[in-house]
Amino acid sequence: MNVISTVIPEVLIIEPRVFGDERGFFMESYNQQAFADKAGITAHFVQDNHSRSGKNVLRGLHYQIQQAQGKLVRAIVGTILDVAVDIRRSSPTFGQWVSCELSAENKRMLWVPAGFAHGFLVTSDVAEVLYKATDFYAPQYERSILWNDPDLAIAWNLDGEPVLSAKDLAGKPLKDAEVYS
């Protein structure tokens, strides 16, 4: 696999090795030893999640203030713009964000460590997203940062209006959000 650094050192783009022929393809989407050896990711994953969304659905920016989750994200159908925002107040990259296009075609994955808010925008007609999480879902600790916070100025490159949940419409700007120390 190929590991690509981003402007936020802890957030990594993972390109798996894909073996293709006339029958299709094969790839390891996760191998604990390879992720530890090549990417330094030693996280223990406890939950796998799968979502399906239509074009312009924007999910996020989500995090859990306790039971923080690291996430290994990939799109298995369609294309998304995946975004990670550093919300660790003591971090030199606090308030900065990284984005990456993940698609069924490019087979890239994004490693979003604990301490980051995460969200994605569906840019294809439909997308299915799988992600592994390092802690269990705990709705009592879930928080949401406003997707269009002007202080973050995330370049979503929207084609029309986003489709948002009530929870995401009620997200808080980063300056008012509960964040990690």
**From 62, 63, 137, 180, active-site residue:** 62
Q: How far is CA 123 from the centre of its chain?
A: 15
Residue 67's CB is within 10 A of a number of other CB atoms, namely 15
Active site residue 30: no
Integer CA distances (angstroms), 38 to 3, 17, 29, 63, 139, in order: 7, 12, 14, 26, 33
Please count the other Cβ atoms lying within 10 Å of the Cβ belonging to residue 102: 24
**Cα-flanking dihedrals φ and ψ of residue 106, to 5°?**
-85, -15
- 131 part of the active site: yes
| Active-site pick, 63, 131, 141, 180 | 131
The angle formed by the CA atoms of residues 63, 65 and 150, to the nearest 5 degrees, is: 55
- Spell out where 9-115 has E strands: 12-15, 18-21, 24-27, 47-54, 58-64, 71-77, 79-86, 97-103, 109-112
3-class SS of residue 34: helix
The candidate with the shortest Cα–Cα distance to 79, out of 105, 49, 51, is: 105
User: What positions carry a catalytic annotation?
Assistant: 62, 131
